[in-house]
Structure 1
Amino acid sequence: MTSTARGVLQTDCRYIIERGMLGAGPPNAATWPESRTRTGLVMGSVQSGKTASMFGVTALALDRGIDIVVLLAGTRLSLWRQTYERMVEQLDAGEDGVAKVRRRLLCPTPDVVLSGVPTTLDSTYRLPSAQVRRKLSQRQPLIVVAMKQTDHLYALGRELRQSVFSEVARLDRAVHMLVLDDEADDGSVLDAVVEQSRGPLSPTLKQVPRAIADLWEPRSSGAPDNLFATYVGYTATPQANLLQEDHNPLAPRDFVISLRTPLDVGQPADPSNLDALRSSTFPEPNGIDSYYTGGEVYYDRGTGAGLCRELSGQADNDLADSIRAFLVAGAIRLHWASATDPTVMGPRSIRGVDFLLRDDVRAASPPTHSMLLHPSADIGAHFAAAEDVLVWAGVPDRSTARNLIESGNALLPHSLVAKMRGEEPLWEAWIDHYRSSSSAIATEFNVMNPRPIPDWPTVLHILETEVIPGTRVSVVNSDPGAEDRPEYKPVFDETTRRWRAATDLSTIFVSGNVMARGLTLEGMTTALFRRNSANPVADTQMQMQRWFGYRGEYIELCRMFATRQQIDLFGAYHDVDEALREGIAAKMAGAAPSPAVLHGMGFLATGKIASIGRVPLCPSAKPFVTIINDGQQPDPNAQLVAEVFSGPSSDVTVGRTVRGRALDRTLSLSEAADLLGILSFDSYAPGDESRLAELWQQVQARVDATLPLPAGTQFYQAPSPVDGTPSEPRFECPYAIAAYLRLWEACLTRAVRGLFVTGVPSGRWAMADLRAKVLHQPRFSVGIRYGDGDRITGGPLAGLGFDIRATQKGLNAQGNLDTTWGTNDPNAGPLDYRGDEFFDYYHRGEALPATAGTTSWRPQGAHGQILFYINKRPGQPHPVVAVGVCIPAGGPEQFAATRAGSLIAA
């Protein structure tokens, strides 16, 4: 890590301690919740350094005198051991001995976790009472690294009750437990909807969240009154955590925090001000070699470099092309390493060589080089795909390939060299691809001296002598015949007492869900992603993107092969992910509302929560406001319409029949919003305290974070009731439509995350051409549609200089209109009237759009329409105003996820 990155890490860790763990002050019954528990969430990025943050928070917590730290390290043995190894190396560093034993009590001990010797779980998590008593009395911490699996958690819980809680109760002070849950969306989420009909002892209830909560508040016996707990969930995909019901024990009730990653843009970190403005990235002056290469690089700024490569649809050709890309990239990387240090060996040469010291083998090892082939979730498909790789490379048959895989020594055969010689143009083409990428990356990220791509003869020699014969194929999944996890560390041979190089210096990994959660692929350059889903969900597929990480040193050589649909989905996932991150950052820095979790146009935010709603921003392509005043008193909206039509207007005549009147001028987005926003209704005043108002506040906070809005800007401006309770907010009301039009105008100069383009499949607003958006922004025609009722002879509408015939739309039991736009005649001829949705087209003398007669959007760049109806039923004292609006395609849209199913009335 650079000094800048370490500074940001420390600042973020301090924020988690000060605003999260100690946000209510030191443990104290007067300031803490009655439960003596605080719960929160930290959002990181996929393979961005969440573990470093966890260790940093642990270190600062230990400095602040924390008594007990529990690290929940994944739901699989491989993840548990990986985190434990990192913790021992990075947090509990130093030589084993008396000094280390005296400063903390570590559970389990390294020999239990890393030796591989079978042991009972009760022995694994043993905490001797005498040692616990001594440590707590001396203010020395207990540190536990537990696997997030029910048997492990229950074993740890038993040990805490038997050996720790009694010692805690003896103390005359508060004892603070910090529980850090890695991958908190994996196994730690409760779905109340799924479980609401099941009894408390039902075996089908999800046990992991309950077992975690039992660590500090056992359901059976309770905890000491002086035990206080802070639970912090860490995840890159917090959608389900944020959507779960608040009463679930691990729901983030007290704080939500977002970590930052290094790039060339963003707000610099300010260690002196924890509440300073934040962004998802921070400027890293060290350059691209130290950047986090996530969705921003792959799907946005790196698109010109061709980092994402669309599959051809020919499975064999796509497999071959991805392997060629990987192997050629490996040869280039080895060339770069050898140019810097001639003593570096290749992956073939270093095999079988013994070294006296571990540092020697590390110095001689080539850069780790990995590829991921993700065929599907099916374990059997992983072995078949690995066989495909070996058979393509020249292994005679599948049986031989399978035996090689299961032996753990499935090296690419020498016959691949001859195969390459027979198709050199296909391999050499990757030299040109990588040169093009290098140039595009240098331009986009201001790289002064891009790394030179060697010529084909140089790469060919390295491929023949080192990369092809030194590359192996490995299946990593839960099958007993597969490998547990990648091995990137030098291996010590107990027989020879010497060191050998790591196993996976150049490896093609075939895997599925195991790789989609926590396990790190070092040196990954190439991914072939064949998996697809009929019902994609963002959080699951975000976790599968193991090509993210710190790959700036060779990003021009990275490739992700997938279908165009999948690439578009990944880009959209990134967009809503950034929107959530920006919302969290705004909340951390000020008084912004809690962030919204978003679905996409073609995917859900999460599949871990049942019955979540999908709430758009845009009311629809042609919303009609059915709210109307009762006509017993003069309608103030009639005065508003009269003022609007005091300017020049003209009749709208179709087939010799006057259908209404239209203004001769059109309104801008903001003028249309102001017109709709000033309408008022006696029975409808939702105010600014509703969940719909909060949704608009969330959107506005993101827009403001992208580029500050003018002071006083308020998208949603619903009136509050003079007295009584606010009305239930409705979606198709003038204030929601006005808010949408204000949002549209604000977005013309802002590439806002999490917004899509209406009427454009997979269209992301953040990637739209804003200059084109400005040129094609809609203007709104304003009209009055005449009806078959009486002429309006009194009030402000009677003196406009033209006669208005009232409509006679009926009312429902709630006093709202029971009809909207009226009939639509898709077969109308040139002199016939097709329908009110096209009233303004007749006024302008334009041909009707191709979508006439359907519910589709008006074309991008078309006019919008605001059409008023002056409604007066027989016996009604005063006419009242109704309004319908037509909105063209091309505007911004989002889809908020809500566990309540809906934010608004039907």
Structure 2
Amino acid sequence: MAQHLPQTERVYFDPPAPAQPQGSWWARYIAQLKGLSPTAHAALEADCRFILNRGLLGIGPPSAGVWPTRARTGLVMGSVQSGKTASMLGVSALALDHEVDILVVLAGTRISLWRQTYERLISQLDAGEGTGRDARRILRPVPEIALSDEQADLQSVYHMAPSPVRRRLTKRQPIIIVAMKQINHLHALARSLRTNVFDTVSELGRPFHMLVLDDEADDGSILDAVVEAGRDPARDDLKQIPRGIANLWEFTDSVPANLFATYIAYTATPQANLLQEDHNPLAPRDFLVSLRTPLDSGHVVDPSNPVGNVTAPRSSTYPEPLGMSAYYTGGEVFYHRSESAGLCSATTGNAEQDLGEAVRAFLVAGAVRLHRSRRLGPHSAIKSTFDTRDEAATATSPPHSMLYHPSASIQDHFRGAEDVLLWAGVADRGEARAMLESGRAGLPGSLVARMRSQEAQWEAWLEWYQSSARGIAGEFNLLSPAPFPDWPTTRHLLETEVIPGTRVAVVNSDPTADDRPEYAPSFDEGTQRWLPAHDLSTIFVSGNVMARGLTLEGLTTALFQRSSPAPFADTQMQMQRWFGYRGAYIELCRVFADRQQLSLFRAYHDIDEAVRIAITENMQAGAPDPAVLQGLGFLATGKIANLNTRPLSPGAKPFVRLVNSGRQPDPNAVLVASLFAGGASSDLVAGNSLRGRILDEPLTLTQAAEVLDGLNFEDYRPGRADNRIAEHWAQVRARVAAAAPLQAGDLYRAPSGMGQDDPVRSDCPYSIPAYMRLWDACLTRSVRGLFVTGQPGVRWSTANLTRKRQTQPRFWVGIRYGGGSPVNSGPLAALPFQIPTTAKCVEGGEMKTEWGSNNPKAGPTGYRGDEFFDYYHHNAPLPPAGGGTAWRPAGSDGLILFYVNEWNVQPHPSIAVGVCLPAGGPEQFAATKASALPI
């Protein structure tokens, strides 16, 4: 269901661009950004300024008297293919305007990613003519080395002559370095800095600021807690890349005392970064920031005042007035909002049939896009040349791509590409492999004849796309859906342009595979003419290399056939390259995967959004510490060993083992007495014996929570400050409030001590009422990152809330009688019934026995156990014994059962309590580090 915005009319217009200082890095950078709306420009600038002001300069400009340490570390969470590089370059521009002296951009672990980022940096951040650029900074490596196919030794790649360095730094002109995230590159860069730069830094004496931006920071920059256990964190035998990065500024004798560093990790999947141990010098300690993406919901961005947006309310998305064509189409669109449009299609399990369906979908979508573009098709473009680069780009159709993910194995990628060609009509596998190795693996002409013989299967896709367009238009309130050609026109374009103009390529780490997609025109030295982009219509077969940084332009179709017995959320989130800005043709997009994989994709998105909300809701208050979530069927990350899972629910039958000593009257006896004095109650007889007393009317979830929050323990008052459980519940509350505002009050309401609060217990009794309040709040909210107890594969955000409200539990309250003497003093003695005490063993202020015996063989005249106390009151059938679950069935009521206990010779009885919860409530699975103490 679409999220409804407040009923407020807003008028959008194109405001005058704010004046920028002439020659500023930001002004030059923003002038190079094309295709961004005024609102997107404002959101980008606001987020970049937030990172600058709260991250780089969060405690002021670097200075020995201001910074408590000489290095600050933080993390920026983006979304997959959402524009993290634009933010990274924007932060760079603002930092350079604020006189950052040394900028290091760590641009990927592969040459292709390094060059991709380098090219963007020199064309956008370092824009201008060569002489003008050379006069304002030092850039390493120089383009002649970075973009050359010739091998260069690393000493020359990062070499900086001391004299120019001194001149530039004296004039406060920066050094900009784009480094590959490989250990030999990092060592070479560190040597160059120590040899050529740091002497000048020491001589000048003023504070110097180094900014290190780590793109795809969860790739290679993580230290594993278990793998590194037992090693000295100061030694060099820790994982090399993180140590190599930190060595750029580590404060040894060779690093100037006046050098200050800020390290910012950029990633869409921060699970490992947040879970790693603090002995990694790159662990985010000082700030976390979540970037925003454009959609039709969220807090509004004011295009006329981006600077003011730094302190404005934030959400993970912001409304984009331009509409669908400018929306970020991530998991919210593919897995939530587009359900009626059918963008996700379950595979059949027949590999050849699924491959054929995906290729047909891709080719028909290509014909529709070509018809809309009114440009030269991919087959005609192959034979065309142009006078200028711009002409080559504008005269041809936009790139159109398909991604086929057969498995993680490199050899499976080549075999998968061969399968595509064989399906299309290539004679045998040997011919298909030869075509791939030659780089000219075009679809054969025989596919045209095959299409004509199976025309109904191809035409069906045109009809399905039209149906998707109607679903998208209804969900996003589109007034003018994009046009569709009729089938004869589509067929003609398939025959003459799309099929003959489509090629198959393998992109992976194998040296015989294609290096990377080519979407820019190229210059032919022989003819002195411009050639169109190589990949105007391409089926890419790939694996892990496509899951990190490389972008497939015009991606409409993805076939995901890989599976894993132990999937990792961060790895598989990165594989979803179909995310991006695809709103202009979103109705033509399809993700083909089996039902289990699609369910995992939806769950990954749900918990990803939950982490994003947790960061966003707390960004204004410093460095959030969000819970990293996972599911019972998948782990958050494989980069950290021995992760544990901490549920949110207290379980099916939580028993509060904490009791008061009985040395003085138990205040909890007053609580129980007031409950039974204020309401009618009845004896509870089961198995021909009087078992206790029960209130005749049940409590609601919130009433039950208030009762349990009223428990008072003489030696346990943990409070809500500096309390890990309180912080944990505060994060959950923030996610609930993000779905819809909550009334004042925390979910977790533990009492504070008179002085110092007590250490929090892992089985804190105040977590039970916090959970009840959460359940009540979730009855009217589709909260992200939650599953359903008893059904751990079901997400709360997709639950039928009307049904949840109808079946919400009520809680019956009882007192269990024992075989001891009746209570003869205090408020319980004043009740109109006697309460024989129980004699459960107590040691050190804790009950050593809980619910007591359970007799699963008890017949109609027997007593099965205390956890079914209320069932006997209603004469209701008991759940089947040995049902494989401790949970009461969803839709059942719950139970709060008090025990008035008198152990040995304690002067006063003490109150113990057990709670039974039915299934069907909200649940969260938080990942915990191997070293983390249970809470």
TM-score scaled by length of structure 2: 0.93
Question: Is this contact kept in 2: 1:728–1:904, CA < 8 A?
Answer: no
Separation of aligned partners in 2, 1:18 and 1:126:
32
How much has 1:42 moved relative to structure 2? Answer: 0.7
**Contact map agreement 1:615 1:902 (CA 8 A) in 2:** no
Q: Which amino acid aligns with 1:101?
A: D
Q: Distance in 2 between matches of 1:168 and 1:793?
A: 82
2:47 is the counterpart of 1:47: no
Q: Is the 8 A contact 1:692 1:904 kept in 2?
A: no
- The answer on whether the counterparts of 2:285 and 2:623 sit within 8 Å (CA) in structure 1 is no
| Unpaired segments ≥5 residues, structure 2 | 1-35
For 1:605 and 1:503, locate their aligned partners in 2 and report how far apart those are by CA, in whole Å: 38
1:449-477 per-residue CA deviation (whole Å, 9 max, x = no partner) reads 11122222221111111111111110000
Structure 2 counterpart of 1:150: 183
Structure 2 residue identity aligned to 1:734: P
Residue matched to 1:485: 516
> 1:763 aligned to 774, 794, 803, which one?
794
| Residue deviations 1:470-528 (CA, integer Å, cap 9, x gap) | 11110000111111111111121111111111111101101111000000000000111
Structure 2 partner of 1:746 = 777
Larger displacement relative to structure 2 (858-867 or 287-296) = 858-867
The 3 A distance-change label for structure 1 pair 593 and 109 is closer
Kindly tell me: are residues 556 and 31 of structure 1, through their superposed partners in 2, closer, same or farther at Cα, counting changes over 3 Å?
Answer: same
1:330 to 366, 380, 397: 366
Q: Does the 8 Å CA contact 1:368/1:505 hold for their aligned counterparts?
A: yes
Q: Is the 8 A contact 1:472 1:508 kept in 2?
A: yes
Which residue of 2 is the match for residue 401 of structure 1?
A: 432
Q: Secondary structure at the match of 1:566?
A: helix
2:164 to 97, 122, 131: 131
User: Once the 2 structures are TM-superposed, how far is the Cα of residue 251 of structure 1 from its aligned partner?
Assistant: 1.1
Question: Which residue in the other structure is 1:605 paired with?
Answer: 636
Evaluate the alpha carbon distance shift between residue 686 and residue 761 of structure 1 in structure 2; reply closer, same or farther with a 3 A threshold: same
SS of residue paired to 1:860: coil
Letter in 1 for 2:174: P
SS where residue 247 of structure 1 aligns?
Answer: coil
Aligned positions of 1:282-431 closer than 5 A: 282-338=318-374, 344-431=375-462
* 1:341 counterpart residue number: none
Checking the alignment, whether the CA contact within 8 Å between 1:471 and 1:507 is kept in structure 2 is: yes
Residue in structure 1 matched with residue 292 of structure 2 by the alignment: 260
Determine helix, strand or coil for the equivalent of 1:268. Answer: coil
Q: Tell me how far 1:203 sits from its aligned partner.
A: 7.6
TM-score, scaled to structure 1: 0.96
Residue 825 of structure 1 aligns to which amino acid in structure 2? N
Matches within 5 A, 1:111-260: 111-198=144-231, 205-217=238-250, 219=252, 221-260=253-292
Alpha-carbon distance in 2 for matches of 1:672, 1:171: 67
- Cα distance between partner residues in 2 of 1:201 and 1:705: 42
Q: Counterpart of 2:379 in 1: which secondary structure?
A: coil
Among 676, 680, 703, the residue aligned to 2:736: 703
Q: Give, in whole Å, the separation in 2 of the partners of 1:649 and 1:592.
A: 51
Percent identity for Structure 1 against Structure 2: 61
In 1, the alpha carbon distance for the partners of 2:249 and 2:846 equals: 54
Partner of 1:877 in structure 2? 907
SS in 2 for 1:885: strand
Structure 1 unaligned runs (5+)?
339-343
Instruction: Give the Cα–Cα distance (whole angstroms) in 2 for the partners of residues 591 and 38 of structure 1.
Output: 13
**Shift of the alpha carbon at 1:393?**
0.7
- 8 Å CA contact 2:288, 2:624 repeated in 1: no
Whole-Å Cα distance in 2 between the matches of residues 423 and 548 of structure 1? 31
Contact kept? 1:613, 1:901, Cα under 8 Å:
no
Q: Note the C-alpha offset of 1:660.
A: 1.6
- Structure 2 distance, partners of 1:852, 1:722, is 47
Q: Return the letter of the residue paired with 2:486.
A: D
Q: Distance in 1 between matches of 2:212 and 2:544?
A: 26
Residue type of the partner of 2:830? G
- Contact in 1 for aligned 2:275/2:929 (Cα 8 Å): yes
Q: Secondary structure at the match of 2:149?
A: coil
Taking the aligned partners of 1:585 and 1:741, their CA distance within structure 2 comes to 25
Question: Which has the larger displacement, 237-246 or 594-603?
Answer: 594-603
User: Deviation of residue 690 (structure 1)?
Assistant: 1.9
Give the SS at the match of 2:818. coil
- What do residues 389-412 of structure 1 show as CA deviations (whole Å, max 9, x unaligned)? 111111111111111111111001
Measure, in 1, the Cα distance between the counterparts of 2:454 and 2:242: 55
Q: Is residue 683 of structure 1 aligned with residue 715 of structure 2?
A: yes
Q: Distance in 2 between matches of 1:163 and 1:902?
A: 43
Higher alpha-carbon deviation: 605-614 or 360-369 = 605-614
Alignment check: 8 A CA contact 1:476 1:482 kept: yes
| 1:717 corresponds to which of 724, 749, 753 | 749
**Deviation sequence 1:839-866 (CA, Å, 0-9, x none):** 1111112112346665432222210111
The CA distance in 2 between the partners of 1:82 and 1:751, in whole Å, is: 39
Say which SS state the counterpart of residue 133 (structure 1) adopts: helix
Deviation digits for residues 612-663 of structure 1 (CA, Å, limit 9, x no counterpart): 3322111101111111122222211112111111121112222322222111
Aligned to 1:886: 916
Residue 103 of structure 1 aligns to a residue whose secondary structure is coil
Q: CA deviation at 1:874?
A: 3.8
Query: In the alignment, which of 68, 76, 101 is matched to residue 134 of structure 2?
Result: 101
Question: Which residue of structure 1 aligns with residue 879 of structure 2?
Answer: 849
Q: Deviations over 1:245-297 (max 9, x none)?
A: 22321111111111100000011235314222100011100000000000100
Taking the aligned partners of 2:466 and 2:793, their CA distance within structure 1 comes to: 30
1:534 has 2:565 as partner: yes
Paired residue secondary structure (1:473): strand
Map of 1:801 onto structure 2: 832
Q: In the alignment, what sits opposite 1:559? A: 590
RMSD: 1.7
The amino acid across from 2:37 in the alignment is T
Q: Superposed, which structure 2 residues align to 1:651-670 within 5 Å?
A: 651-670=683-702
Shift of 1:694: 1.2
In structure 2, the residue corresponding to 1:762 is in which secondary structure? Answer: strand
Say whether the 8 Å CA contact 1:329–1:557 is kept in structure 2. Answer: yes
Residues 767-806 of structure 1 aligned to structure 2 (within 5 Å): 767-806=798-837
Deviations 1:357-377 (A, max 9, x none): 111111221111001111111
1-side partners of 2:729 and 2:418: how far apart? 53
1:730-757 CA-to-partner distances (Å, cap 9, x unmatched) read 32x4311011001111122222211111
SS of the equivalent of 2:636 reads coil
**Do the aligned residues in 1 keep the contact of 2:899 with 2:912 (CA within 8 Å)?**
yes
SS at structure 2 position matched to 1:58: helix
Q: Which moved more, 1:737-746 or 1:856-865?
A: 856-865
Question: Residue 761 of structure 1: SS of its match in structure 2?
Answer: strand
Residue identity opposite 2:158 in structure 1: Y
After the TM superposition, which of the residue ranges 874-883 and 674-683 deviates more from structure 2?
Answer: 874-883
Alignment partner, residue 108 of structure 2: 74
Q: How does 1:591-670 map onto structure 2 within 5 Å?
A: 594-646=625-677, 647-670=679-702
Contact kept in structure 2, 1:361 and 1:490, CA below 8 Å: yes
